[in-house]
Chains A and B, each alone.
Chain A
């Protein structure tokens, strides 16, 4: 820029001929009617109005250049289209800056380019397209076509596939096509003709893209194309292009974006695609190693070859927009690391393909190579058995030393196993022993029977008065029982009587019970009978039938029957006497005359326990003394219960049991205290005495025999 003042409507500077108004789409549109036809283009006329100057204003250098072009046209008959740009190259700096961006083609030329573009240009155009345009095309083109079209994506996919997979994969026609596309054409074919190179050198080695100008696109291939162009076309054109590829190429043609973006409309699409990769790294000039010299069939001159480096402020906006945002390096499959290979998703490889994965030799040491036989040289044909491997890894079991005792027991066990079956003689000896035992049992039984029946034969033992020699020992407890009945039982006094024995103890306890109950009845007391044993009520009825007249029975005696529940039953019974039914009628006890004024054990004056077994007697003593400590308890029990009941005697310091009458001797003492004599009781006592003497005699004989001469086991 010279900085001189120009009129407001001036397009170019009058002094330095620099352009004052930027190129816009309207101007291009206005210039379209003025675009010369093919014949006019053949002259030195520029493409657009911006570069077409009036003849009188044309500088000398341009006139000389036009003359040179005419001479060259006559000599070589170059395509007339090429003269235009060459002539433009001779323009000043401002025009030189515009050299890469060729003048916008006319609509007519664009229409022809869309339909009659040579195949080699169609193939090169999308490959050199900038990323921005690629994104726009992706939005318009179906996805499957984008995958097929984008060579970079295909290259990435190829790089992502591991080598072994690439080897296994069947040869694909598309790959071959890709190789053909990616194969750089011969440089000689891309180089401009000599005449053009000379012109370029004269211009000053400015940026030059070795591709035909737009006029070449408008020319029909074949007859009108020059030879060098035809050679390039033949070299670049693939031998066979599938239909999909043709459709893809048609779709990938640059759309009519020029009307929407005026700045881009000033340049042909194919040129923008070819220029952008070169202009983008203008600020950071790549090295020769990083930037391939030939890319996608388009020769690109690097900065070292004369491409001028523009200052940031001098770069026009349209060029900035065309500059790629990021340089995408070409993928190099050989340099792919294992990380990228491992990044592949397992699902992308089908199973049948995974099964074909080759294994590296030496990677499976557990599969050795066969060294002999028909399988020699093969690996993994006969894998070792897991059991054999486990045996190798198994821990040896520590040796166990058997102890002498264990060995002795084992020998004894072995001897027992080898011992012959028991001899018949030993069986006979056992039979003899069994017969001896039976005889002994028989003798003892007969002896006891004789002792029991002795009183029947008139053989009476000298018992003496008052229970004989046992009377002094039994007297205190019997005396306590007698005194308690005398003091606690009066006319109409209720007495609770527990019948806790069965038929097995009845012959003994019945005599004790009759002695005590008769005394209570004689004192005018009322008997309330109850039992915690199932057979107790029947025994009570049997007992009362001999003590009480039937006429007085309801008034003086009531049988409350069986009370289940052991200790809990006794607790419940003591708390609720009147709520129980009468045995066996089932009427409420509260309705009976004998139960008058009695609702619980608290209303009775005495509790008499008649028992033949320890547990029942102790339960009554414990439960009664626990709930009613002031209620006296008197027990008439069998001789076997004496030991268990004695600790509860008041005489022994317990205080729960006032008196105790034990067995036939105790009943005899009790009768002596009352001044009575029961013949029946005396007879039973004589039998018991004979029996006890007989048993004592047997024990003494046994002690002598087996201590003196018998062998103990």
Chain B
């Protein structure tokens, strides 16, 4: 019974759902398309519940850290308070129109600047890492990487004159030939991997949804 509940049943559900959805794409005629769309809607609902579950899981983890007074428990306290306040204010704004202003204010003057500041810190970290890259790893590949980065940066910067034009041309070639080739190879690899993983799940060879 345990084997049926933990292995056979999840595998059967996954294979059945995968085959039905795939049939809707391979044979785009009713009733296959109807079944396909319905299965997609079910997946959306499940994903929504997973998002809610993730929110409460974050609260549980940091509440545990706060109860144990673990290292950095103060950050956990701030996170818990912020999450609960954001939840309450946003929910209030969705339910009641008068609370909508408070929700917009919270988003525009708290969440938005905080995330923008975090992105600005990333720029400083990237600049510092580029400066010290050759100190940590002195190799031809590292040098080549730095030269490519310089060309793209300077080629994107709108500079007047011949230097600007030469840098812009070099950047365009770099982006259309080496960078696009590498990126396409990467995307094709991702596509093939996704296809193979889907086939393995549909055929029951992989069971990421099962405990055993």
B204 to chain A, nearest CB (A): 21
* The residue from A646, A699, A702, A713 contacting B175, defined by CB atoms under 8 A apart: A646
Whole-angstrom distance from the CB of A530 to the nearest CB of chain B?
13
How far, in angstroms, from A706 to B131 measured CA to CA in the complex? 9
CB <8 Å contact, B159 and A643 = no
Determine how close the nearest CB of chain B comes to the CB of A553; give it in whole angstroms.
14
Name the A residues within 8 Å of B135 (CB-CB): 702, 706, 710-713
- Cβ contact of B179, chosen from A448, A461, A643, A689, cutoff 8 A: A643
| B118-137 interface code vs A (CB 8 A; 1 in, 0 out) | 11000110111011111111
Contact of B115 among A464, A504, A568, A576 (CB under 8 A): A504
Given A473-B155, A692-B156, A706-B138; A699-B48 close (CB under 8 Å): no
The answer to whether the Cβ of A470 comes within 8 Å of any Cβ in the partner chain is: yes
Q: Is the CB of B124 within 8 A of A699?
A: no
Name B117's closest neighbour in chain A (CB-CB).
A504
In the assembled complex, the Cα of A535 lies from the Cα of B116 at a distance in Å of 13
Given the known A-B contacts A584-B100, A712-B136, A713-B135, are A696 and B184 also in contact in the complex, defined by CB atoms under 8 Å? no
| B interface: dominant SS | helix
Contact B159 A702 (CB under 8 A): no
Does A702 lie within 8 Å of B124, measured CB to CB? Answer: no
Is A431 among interface residues, defined by CB-CB distance under 8 A?
no
Residue of A nearest to B46 (CB): A565
B12 at the A interface (CB under 8 A): no
A542 touches B108 (CB 8 A): yes
Q: Which residue of A lies closest to B28 (CB)?
A: A627
- B156 is contacted by which of A462, A618, A665, A710 (Cβ under 8 Å)? A665
Instruction: Known contacts A468-B164, A469-B164, A503-B114; decide if A699 and B131 are in contact (CB<8 Å).
Output: yes
Within the complex, the shortest CB–CB distance from B182 to chain A, in Å, comes to: 9
CB distance from A587 to the nearest CB of B (A): 12
B57 at interface by CB-CB < 8 Å: no
Most chain B beta-carbon contacts within 10 A, residue among A643, A646, A702, A711: A702
**A470–B134 contact, CB under 8 A?**
no
A647 near B: Cβ within 8 Å?
A: yes
Contacts of B111 in A (CB 8 A): 503, 535
The majority secondary structure among interface residues of chain A is: helix
Q: How far is the CA of A505 from the CA of B118 in the complex (A)?
A: 10
Given A646-B175, A699-B146, A707-B134, CB of A692 within 8 Å of CB of B127: no
Contact B172 A473, beta carbon cutoff 8 Å? yes
Given contacts A444-B128, A646-B176, whether A692 and B153 have CB atoms under 8 Å apart is yes
Q: Quick one: which of A535, A565, A643, A646 has the most chain B CB within 10 A? A: A565
Q: Do A565 and B158 touch across chains, with their CB atoms under 8 A apart?
A: no
| A109 interface contact, C-beta 8 A | no
Assuming A565-B43, A692-B157, is B138 touching A503 (CB within 8 A)?
Answer: no
Using an 8 Å CB-CB cutoff, how does the interface string of B143-178 with A read, 1 for contact, 0 for none?
Answer: 100100110011111111100110111011001100
Q: How many positions in chain B have a CB within 8 Å of any CB in the partner chain?
A: 63
CA distance A711 to B47 in the complex (A): 51
Q: Does B37 interact with chain A (Cβ within 8 Å)?
A: yes
Q: Does B40 contact A (CB under 8 A)?
A: yes
Q: In the assembled complex, which residues on chain B have CB atoms less than 8 Å from the CB atom of A464?
A: 158, 160, 164
Q: Which of A192-238 contact B (CB under 8 A)?
A: none
Contact status B127-A698, CB under 8 Å: yes
A559–B163 Cα distance when bound, in Å, is 46
Interface status of B192 (Cβ within 8 A of chain A): no
Residue from the list B44, B154, B172 in contact with A564, Cβ < 8 A: B44
Tell me if B51 is interfacial: C-beta within 8 Å of chain A.
Answer: yes
Specify the chain B residue showing the minimal Cβ separation from A462. Answer: B160
CB of B5 to closest CB in A, whole Å: 25
**With A472-B168, A642-B175: A572-B41 Cβ-Cβ less than 8 Å:** yes
Q: Does A463 contact B (CB under 8 A)?
A: yes
Interface digits, A460-502 against B, CB 8 Å rule (1 contact, 0 not)? 0111100111111100000000000000000000000000001
B101: interface (CB < 8 Å) = no
B183 at the interface (CB under 8 A from A): yes
Is B94 close to A, CB under 8 A? yes
Interface: B180 (CB within 8 A) = yes
User: Most chain-A CB neighbours within 10 Å: which of B132, B164, B179?
Assistant: B132
Please tell me if the beta carbons of B157 and A693 are within 8 angstroms of each other in the complex. yes
1/0 per residue, CB under 8 A from B, across A645-666: the answer is 0110000100000000000010
A703 at the interface (CB under 8 A from B): yes
- Could you say which residues of chain B place their CB within 8 Å of the CB of A569? 44, 47
Contact indicator A467/B158 (Cβ below 8 Å): yes
CB distance from A567 to the nearest CB of B (A): 9
A691 interface hit (Cβ, 8 Å): yes
Please state if A506 and B176 are interface contacts (CB–CB under 8 Å): no
Q: How far is the CB of B188 from chain A (nearest CB, A)?
A: 9
The answer to whether B40 touches A571, judged by C-beta atoms less than 8 angstroms apart, is yes
Q: Which of A563, A643, A694, A702 contacts B134 (CB 8 A)?
A: A702
Per the bound structure, the CA–CA distance linking A618 and B138 in Å amounts to: 35
B157 close to A470 (CB less than 8 A): yes
In the complex, which residue of chain B has the Cβ closest to the Cβ of A648? B187
Contact between chains at A504 and B48 (CB < 8 Å): no
Interface contact A712-B137, CB-CB below 8 Å: yes
11 CB contacts below 8 A, A to B, read A464-B164, A472-B169, A507-B119, A541-B104, A564-B47, A646-B175, A647-B180, A652-B180, A668-B158, A695-B127, A696-B153
5 extra interface residue pairs, beta carbon distance < 8 Å, beyond A584-B93, A639-B156, A665-B156: A472-B168, A473-B168, A538-B107, A565-B44, A575-B40
10 closest A-B pairs (Cβ-Cβ)? A468-B158, A469-B164, A503-B115, A712-B138, A504-B119, A706-B134, A702-B131, A473-B172, A565-B44, A565-B47
Interface residues of B (CB under 8 A from A): 37, 40-41, 43-44, 47-48, 51, 93-94, 100, 104, 107-108, 111-116, 118-119, 123-124, 126-128, 130-138, 143, 146, 149-150, 153-161, 164-165, 167-169, 171-172, 175-176, 179-180, 183-184, 187
